Amino acid sequence: MTGVSSLRLSPVSAARGVVALPGSKSISNRVLLLAALAQGTTRLEGLLDSDDTRVMLAALRQLGVQVRSLGPTEVEIQGGSPFAVRHGALFLGNAGTAFRPLTAALAMMGGDYQLSGVPRMHERPIGDLVEALNALGAQVRYLGASGYPPLSIAPGSIQAERGIRVKGSVSSQFLTALLMAAPIHTGAGRDPLTIEVEGELISKPYILITLNLMARFGVTVQREGWQRFTIPAGSIYRSPGTLAIEGDASSASYFMALGAIGGGPVQIQGVGSDSIQGDIAFADTIEAMGAQVTRRAASIEVSGVQVARGGKLKAFDLDFNLIPDAAMTAATLALYADGPCTLRNIGSWRVKETDRIHAMHTELGKLGARVESGPDWIRVHPVAASQWQPASIATYDDHRMAMCFSLASFGPVAVTILDPDCVSKTFPDYFSVFRNLVQT
């Protein structure tokens, strides 16, 4: 499908089958950096092969990290800190899971670097992270608009006794970046490093992923609620040897949705009740909407109604702060509900790959839905069979827009996805997998 400018999806009525998920993006990019920082050699299995992980791998290789590819989803990394290359210009695309942690790691490590990305990356705020690093003694400055990439990093003088204070209300990736970078300092000295969160911390499950993975690499963070995190003196990353990466729970949401509106059963392999990813909780959301969910340790099976034959999901009014990525799937499912559906506490959508509240509002409206939205919420009214409108869906260079709106093909009219290749950010084969599961 590479190079296709649009993809027309004819109406479908059913979905069933088995899907093996690609590796988790959140886990993949975290463990790539952790393996690069850790003493010893780490073998990563089940790595996501996508734009975001390729960006991280390219940056690590540019920084002198020895990375050996053993296949499309398996690499071996010889780690150690500091990195061999102490200067350079890194291009990090639109990969927040690469840009934010690398900013903190390189600022903590010292060296001369310039970090940049695509134009949208330069619109995604990073000021809270930069301010926290500079208050610690790092030397990070803006090369463009204040508070946003691109950035320049110069050698600084880290003073652990100052501790770190960071705001938690914009993106949990800022705290993740600081946590992951902290052992660069604690491993080289005797001082612990404490990080305090100012205000409410959003997307807490993503911090749990970070803490879980740091522990697998030998660093146990002492946590006091969600406000104070201490990395003990002497903490240093050590390779766990081999680490298997579980499937992507955010991507699983689309296939859970297929089972919920296409009858099913759809069995999703690679993620289940043992998952460390917060987005696995999307199974609770579709269960509340009327789907039948069977949870196993490493798989989930979903059956539901057939909306193409008049079936309806149950409407909802829910807080989605903990699962903002999977929440987009719920917004699309609202098209098939028995009443208006409200998604609350999703302000982080505004600073993702695009302004997702604006994008979802606009594109759902094209299909005939009545949509309302505010700073951190969106309400979607279901579409009656006679009100559906054929539409060309803009995807805003946002992989999740393309995947969410594939679900609109369960309506009675054709839907066209513009720039379907944007799914390469996390799931290059998505539309092939989708077609293998749906029937007319």
Rounded average pLDDT over 376-380? 98
Q: Which of 85, 2, 26 is nearest to 249 (CA)?
A: 26
Rounded average pLDDT over 343-358? 94
The beta strands (E) that lie in 252-404 are given as 263-269, 292-296, 299-303, 317-319, 341-344, 371-374, 377-380, 391-393
Half-sphere exposure of 238 (CA within 13 A, CB side): 6
Q: Which of 304, 242, 295, 303 is nearest to 269 (CA)?
A: 295
Rounded average pLDDT over 161-172? 90
- 2 pLDDT band, cuts 50/70/90, is low
Q: Is the pLDDT of residue 231 over 60?
A: yes
Q: Is the pLDDT of residue 412 over 70?
A: yes
Question: Do the Cβ atoms of 115 and 150 come closer than 8 Å?
Answer: yes
Q: d(Cα 55, Cα 59) in Å, to the nearest integer?
A: 6
Residue 4 or residue 154, greater confidence? 154
Which pLDDT value is given to residue 185?
Answer: 93
Cα angle 294, 300, 305 (rounded to 5 degrees) comes to 65
The alpha helices in 274-323, defined as continuous H runs, are 282-288
Tell me whether domains 6-23+247-439 and 86-233 share a fold: yes
Helix (H, G, I), strand (E, B) or coil at 304: coil
Query: Could you tell me the residue ranges of all domains in the chain?
Result: 6-23+247-439, 86-233
Q: Which of 239, 203, 221, 253 is nearest to 19 (CA)?
A: 253
Q: d(Cα 338, Cα 383) in Å, to the nearest integer?
A: 10
**What is the residue whose two structure tokens read 């540019």?**
62
- CA 109 vs CA 112, 361, 371: distances in Å: 10, 42, 47
Question: Do the Cβ atoms of 339 and 369 come closer than 8 Å?
Answer: no
325 is annotated as an active-site residue: yes
Cα angle 163, 352, 115 (rounded to 5 degrees) comes to 60
Which pLDDT value is given to residue 86?
Answer: 96
- Measure CA of the first residue to CA of the last residue in the chain; give whole Å: 21
- pLDDT tens-digit map of 287-310: 999 999 999 999 999 999 999 999
Q: d(Cα 413, Cα 438) in Å, to the nearest integer?
A: 15
- pLDDT tens-digit map of 110-164: 999 999 999 999 999 999 999 999 999 999 999 999 999 999 999 999 988 888 9
**Mean pLDDT, the chain, integer:** 96
Q: Is the pLDDT of residue 362 over 90?
A: yes
As given in the structure block, the two tokens for residue 227 are: 């406000």
Q: Which residues contact 17 (CB under 8 A, 6 or more apart)?
A: 266, 267, 436, 437
| Phi and psi torsions of 159, nearest 5° | -115, 95
Domain spanning 6-23+247-439, CATH class: alpha beta
- pLDDT tens-digit map of 256-289: 999 999 999 999 999 999 999 999 999 999 999 9
- pLDDT tens-digit map of 74-96: 999 999 999 999 999 999 999 99
> Hey, which CATH number is domain 86-233, 1.10.10.10, 3.30.700.30, 3.65.10.10, 3.40.640.10?
3.65.10.10
Helix (H, G, I), strand (E, B) or coil at 408: helix
Catalytic residue among 49, 248, 279, 325: 325
Q: Is the pLDDT of residue 330 over 70?
A: yes
Residue 19: CB atoms within 10 A of its CB come to 21
Least confident of 91-105, 177-191, 220-234, 402-416: 177-191
Q: Is the pLDDT of residue 3 over 80?
A: no
- 189 pLDDT band, cuts 50/70/90, is confident
Q: Is the pLDDT of residue 190 over 80?
A: no
Q: Tell me what percent of the residues of the chain surpass a pLDDT of 70.
A: 99
